[in-house]
């Protein structure tokens, strides 16, 4: 049961990162089209800059969240013992939501860097 939840969470995270990278790509495409970028290097640089910003945003979101109170809930053994396995998993996922933002930012940034590398070689 727990293994299935972890696999489902990983698949959701990958899907979200691909969706976010696609949205950023569309925005870069629109900006490039309206600004009349005629070089693949301009698009490559824009994707690389967007990747850096997305990764930094994910990392900084971790610092912005006060996570001490979330982890105190996990340390409360009385309420934790009375929960079912699914409730425990959901509590852990909610308590580590700021870590999810970091992972989402890094995954999306990796997709954008990959797109940037591909765009640099398009003629």
Where helices occur in the chain by DSSP H, the ranges are: 2-34, 40-64, 68-75, 77-81, 85-95, 97-120
- Indicate yes or no: pTM above 0.85: no
Which of 41, 50, 42, 45 is closest to 22 using CA atoms? 50
Q: Look at 41-50, 55-64, 71-80 and tell me which has the smallest mean pLDDT.
A: 71-80
Q: Around Cβ 88, how many Cβ atoms within 10 Å?
A: 15
List % helix, strand, coil for the chain (3-state, nearest 5): 85, 0, 15
Mean pLDDT, the chain, rounded, equals 82
Give the model confidence (pLDDT) of 31-48 as tens digits.
Answer: 999 999 999 999 999 999
Residue 35's pLDDT is what?
Answer: 95
The residue among 90 and 24 whose pLDDT is bigger is: 24
The residue among 93 and 61 whose pLDDT is bigger is: 61
Domain that holds residue 19: 2-120
Residue 103's pLDDT is what?
Answer: 87
* Predicted confidence band of residue 108 (pLDDT cuts 50, 70, 90): very high
Q: What total of structural domains would you count in the chain? A: 1
């Amino acid at each position: 049961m727990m293994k299935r939840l972890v696999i489902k969470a990983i698949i959701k995270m990958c899907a979200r990162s691909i969706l976010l990278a696609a949205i950023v790509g569309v925005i870069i495409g629109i900006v490039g089209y309206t600004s009349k970028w005629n070089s693949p290097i301009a698009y490559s640089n824009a994707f690389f800059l967007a990747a850096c910003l997305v990764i930094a945003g994910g990392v900084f979101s971790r610092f912005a969240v006060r996570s001490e109170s979330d982890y105190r809930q996990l340390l409360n053994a009385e309420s934790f013992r009375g929960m079912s396995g699914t409730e425990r998993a959901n509590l852990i996922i909610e308590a580590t939501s700021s870590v999810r933002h970091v992972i989402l930012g890094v995954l999306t940034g990796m997709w954008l860097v990959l797109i940037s590398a591909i765009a640099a070689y398009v003629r």
